[in-house]
Structure formats: C-alpha cells, structure tokens
Amino acid sequence: MSVLLLLLITGAQAAYHGAVITNYFGDVRPFVLTYHIKESGSSCEEVDIWQCGGNCTTPPFYAIDESRNEWCQKTQILIFTNYGPRTFTFIFGVGSSNWIENRNGIVTPLIRISNDFRNRSDINKPNSTPQTTILPLVRVPSNCQRNINLLVFDPDGDDIRCRYAAGPECNICTPPSVLNVSSSCSLSFRPTNSSNKGPYAVQMMVEDFPRQTITLTDGFTGAQEVKTPSIAIGSIPLQFVFTVDPAAPSCTAGEYLPRFLPPTPQHGAQILTNVNQTLEISVRAEATQADISELLVSGPPGVTKSSSGSGNFTLTWKPIDGDGGLNYALCFVVQANSSGAVYQSDLRCVFVTTGNTTVSRPTTNTTTLTTTTTNQPTATTEPPLSSTPNATPEPGPYHVLALDVMISTTLSMETDSATIMNLIKEELKRQGLPSDITLKLLRSTLLGVTTPAP
C-alpha cells in the first residue's frame, strides 16, 4: 500500500467549509490518475493552495461558485502519472485552516481517502471510485422537515453506500445530532428546537461495494484479494456545512422556501452533451413570500451561471477533450431572502454526461450495418436504475452513439432497408433506449447469402 501526503498551506486564517475529492483514471500503461479536488472556504481569497508532492503536477485552483462572501468553492485537478493498478491511501492535511465554528465541536479538518485501483476480475480493468458533489453550505429552517438525496454514481456499477466518518478518517468524528444519514446516501432532518440552531460540520464517507464477489489483482506484484458484496473496495470523503436557521413562517415550498418550476430538470436526470459543445441548463424557481436572490452551484470545472430575471437562471458548461465519456454530478439550490432571513430550496442534482462513446455488439449473421443515434445536447432522461431499491444508477452513457451490428435476414438492403432499420430501432427500444431515437445508416456490407432449403 502506498501512502502519499499532500500538505495544504495558507497565508490567511480561513474558515474551512469542507471538501469533495473524486478521481478518474486513464490507460493502465502509462497509468494516469486524475484527482478532482473541491475545497471550500469562507471566501475565495482564503481558500488554501494544495501543494503536490510525488509524481504529479500542481495546477492552480479554479473557482466554481461563491455565495456573497459567505463561502467559496474552488476546484483543482491533480494529474498523477506512472501510478499502476494498486491500492492507495491519501491523507490530506489542512494546514492552518480550521472548520467554521460549529455546534458539534469539529475543529481541525482531516481528509482521508482509501482508493483501490487494482484490476477487477469482473470488468478486466482497474476499479473506479464513486462520483458525487455537494454545496459547501446546505441550510434549512429549524421547523421544516428536509430530506437531502445525494446524487452518487459509480462508473463500474457498484453499490454505493454512505456513512459518517469514524476512527482515523477524522480528528474529531462527532456527527451532527440533527442530521441522520442512511446507507443509501439520503440525509434526513426533522424539526428541532430553536436551541439547536447554528452550523454543523458534516464529515461523511462514500464507499463502493461490488454487487458480486470479485478478485482484485495488483498490477505490479500480481497479488490478489477477494472482495465480497459486504466488503468495501474504497472510500472517498464528502464534507460540508449544514446550518439550522431560525424557524420560517411557513415550510410550504414556493412561499418562503423556493420551489423549482419547469423546465428545471428533475433530480437525478441525465443531461447529455458533446465535447467542445456548449450545454445550457434552464433553472426556474418561485418564492411568493420572499425575494429570490441567487442560484448556487457545485459541478465540474468551467460551469458558469447567469440570470434573466427573478427566479430565472441558466447554467452553462462547455466540456473539453478530457471530459469525453465521463459522468459529472452537478448540484444546485436557489436561495431567497425575506426580512433578513435566508431560505434555500431543496438540493437538486443532475448527471452531466459527455459523449462520444462507441459500443460494439457483434453477433453471428450475414449483413453488417453501422448505425448511429443523434445526441441532443440538452436532452434530459431519467438514469436507468437497477432492480435493487435505492441502488446506484448503472454506469452511463445511456445513449448509443455508434453501433456495429451483424444481422441474418432474407430481406434486401437495396429494397427493404427501411424495414430493416425499423426492426433494428424496435429492438433497441426493447433493450431500453428512448422511443425518440433516430437511426442513420452509415455503412452496409453484404457478407454472404444463405438460401433456405426448399
């Protein structure tokens, strides 16, 4: 097991608001490991700078969003090279920064990541870790019930479970007394006494569990380890601030607490786009007894936002080459003000998936076709779920962009191409693709003709 220590140093006393760290990897040889580090502080000037030690680069931070000098979230992308398919424990020490003053007594931040990138026997490639994100500060009035469903995704289709950090995963591990977390990554808040008002430090771990027994193989030593569905493969940290505000005059969504309106995408929706193509997501909300002030966002690097009037917002993102074939979680809330009080909408999160990905399914037959479906950059679909309740969505992308298929048929491509294409489309729909897919024939090759016996 390799241990890498990355130190966080700062010249200002910042108020730490948490962090989310996820990663992606490239080819096994050379093995390229990319970490997306999101750290949050009380202002953009006070967010610390991560210094990278080891075989990696240290690029600058890029701001994702900030909330009127209350918090700022930045992201940094660390690229490690020549790290083979093996296990890693990363420990991030957070220099002179302390958590924002909180009710559960958490002072010194600690971020511990247990990653396992050994080759999996079920997919014959290195394991991937869960993907998620969260806003630096989530708030709710003390008298209003609130369920927060975190958006989690695993590229390997593993079962993702959430829990509070414990033991060596934090310096002080006292969880918030007002917030319960379920293994299915749902947070629940119940109305509480006004004496419980204030901020709480939330320190969670997100873990991936295989859905069947698998064997993990170290790419250097060849050593193997068996993982069952009850043994976690790895874990990533999820840290943020949860604030209990004074009681609201009403807990009805759309009055003081902003309510989302169409065409805002539903929670958990998948939004498709292409590399170097600008994606726009419309967000609309109302609060009849409060003034909507801002849209707050946590998402991939490069997301921007704009407003066209009270309660009308647009999120814009243009993925680059390195984003191709990846899924990112993008979360947002709408915030409103009334008589000095601040109110947040529900947390809403979507998947943003970037094409292009090729899928091939050869079968035994006599005619070769290549078909493609159109990929609308603003199309929104619900992600397919497994049959397990509260299970993690199966890995994307969920649209076939190119398909090589061989079929056996007595029909002729010269005279019956429309019929053949319709049959292929109906089969793709039966396999779960949307009913509005469009197929275009790119190439047809006749391999052979078999005449049935009389």
pTM, two decimal places: 0.75
Token pair in block for residue 37: 């580090």
User: CB under 8 Å to 215, separation ≥6 — which residues?
Assistant: 120, 121, 224, 225, 226, 227
Domains in the chain: boundaries: 361-446
Distance CA 288, CA 200 (A): 29
Closest by alpha carbon to 108, among 23, 173, 51?
173
Q: Which residues of the chain have pLDDT under 70?
A: 1-14, 25-31, 46-60, 81-84, 88-96, 356-406, 408, 410, 413-418, 429-432, 434-437, 440-454
pLDDT at residue 442, rounded to an integer = 59
Q: Report how far Cα 106 is from the mean position of its chain's Cα atoms.
A: 26
DSSP-based three-state secondary structure for 423: helix
Q: Label the pairing between strands 2-9 and 87-94.
A: parallel
Closest CA to 211 of 150, 125, 122: 122
Order across the sheet with 439-446: list the strands.
359-360, 403-407, 367-373, 439-446
Tokens 């004074």 found at: 246
pLDDT tens digits, 393-423: 344 444 445 666 667 676 776 666 667 777 7
**In terms of DSSP bridges, do strands 270-274 and 304-307 run parallel, antiparallel, or are they unpaired?**
unpaired
| Token code pair at residue 143 | 């008298």
